[in-house]
Structure 1
Amino acid sequence: MQRTTLFAAAVAAALTLAACEPAGTTAAPAKTVTVTPTPSKAVTTTPKAAAPPTKTRVAKPSRIRVPAVVGHNHQKAQNEMQAHGLFMLAETDATGQGRMLLWDRNWVVVRQTPPAGTIVKPGTTITLYSKKIGE
């Protein structure tokens, strides 16, 4: 019902506008106008010399103190080592059974080499000896 009313209103408006035009007149076709820019004087500006970019380098530590992670769960211990810049990490089952540490959060570090407080070079391998929690 509402569509019919809107349609009827649109038709009535169109007829009203058509009735307003004088008889025998037609709208003039649209004209196309092309504008060509006129050449102007070339203005040359010399940009100001930008200051050379400054390079900020973060110095890599030449020596790193090994953090103490004995007693921490294995995952947290790995995160702490990496936060100190030690990324060469080895993990070993401290019980001697040769198990792989698949779920790091179920293991606790019982020993580490080199020991906590030792000063090492970046790239030094840190071995974490862990056992399953509750063993």
Structure 2
Amino acid sequence: MRRVLLAAGMAGMLAVTACGSSGEPAPTVTVTATPSSSSAPPQDTAKDSGDGASSTPTSSAPPADDAAADTDGKKGVMPEVICLDLQAAQNKIQDNGVFFSRSEDATGKARQQVWDRNWIVVAQRPAAGEPIGEGDAVLSVVKKGEPNDCPGQ
């Protein structure tokens, strides 16, 4: 019987280890995925640490469009996301070309935002209309039902 263990990390790593009953060590495969934009397919690299054979992706992504990237690494424009739930705010930022944003507990309690739809954005950095790159958007949030200045929230 073979068992497969899957583990995923925040950086997009995936490790697959198969354990056989024959006593031989099974190969481990690690796949690293990078975020992609709508104009380029994801790029994956795979390494096989088992029997010496390696897996190589069969397709390659087209070269990045240099005209679309700002020289300062800014890829999009910060939208207005105050009073949206955290998931909707993240979606709106992604629609503007930036896929990594950060969130922080506005109460100072350092609570983790596990279920994004259960949090309301009460402040944002930078302001709407400012250019942003990956990780530049910081959203301050409170749980739904906690005091905030958003009407109906």
TM-score, normalised to structure 2's length? Answer: 0.47
Alignment partner of 2:115 out of 99, 103, 113:
103
Alignment partner of 1:60 out of 49, 61, 68:
68
Question: Which residue identity does 2:88 align to in structure 1?
Answer: K
> Which residue in the other structure is 1:77 paired with?
89
**How far off is 1:112 after superposition?**
0.6
Name stretches of at least 5 consecutive residues in structure 1 with no aligned partner. 1-54
**How far off is 1:83 after superposition?**
1.1
> Which residue in the other structure is 1:131 paired with?
142
Question: Separation in 2 of the partners of 1:100 and 1:124?
Answer: 17
**How far off is 1:123 after superposition?**
2.7
> Which residue in the other structure is 1:4 paired with?
none
Instruction: Give the fraction of aligned pairs with identical amino acids, expressed as a percent.
Output: 38
**How far off is 1:56 after superposition?**
9.6
**How far off is 1:125 after superposition?**
1.7
Question: Separation in 1 of the partners of 2:123 and 2:68?
Answer: 27
Q: Check 1:127–1:56 CA distance in 2 against 1; reply closer, same or farther (3 A cut).
A: closer
| Cα distance per residue 1:25-69 (max 9 Å; x no partner) | xxxxxxxxxxxxxxxxxxxxxxxxxxxxxx897542425221000
Q: RMSD in angstroms over aligned alpha carbons?
A: 2.1
Q: Which structure is richer in relative contact order (CA contacts within 8 A, separation 6 or more)? A: 1
Name stretches of at least 5 consecutive residues in structure 2 with no aligned partner. 1-61, 147-153
The answer to whether the aligner puts 1:114 opposite 2:111 as a matched pair is no
Regions of 4+ moved over 3 Å: 55-59
TM-score, normalised to structure 1's length? Answer: 0.53
Question: Separation in 1 of the partners of 2:111 and 2:138?
Answer: 15
CA contact (8 A) 2:86 2:117 kept: yes
Structure label with greater radius of gyration = 1
State how many pairs are aligned.
80
Question: Separation in 1 of the partners of 2:97 and 2:87?
Answer: 16
Choose between structure 1 and 2: higher strand proportion.
2
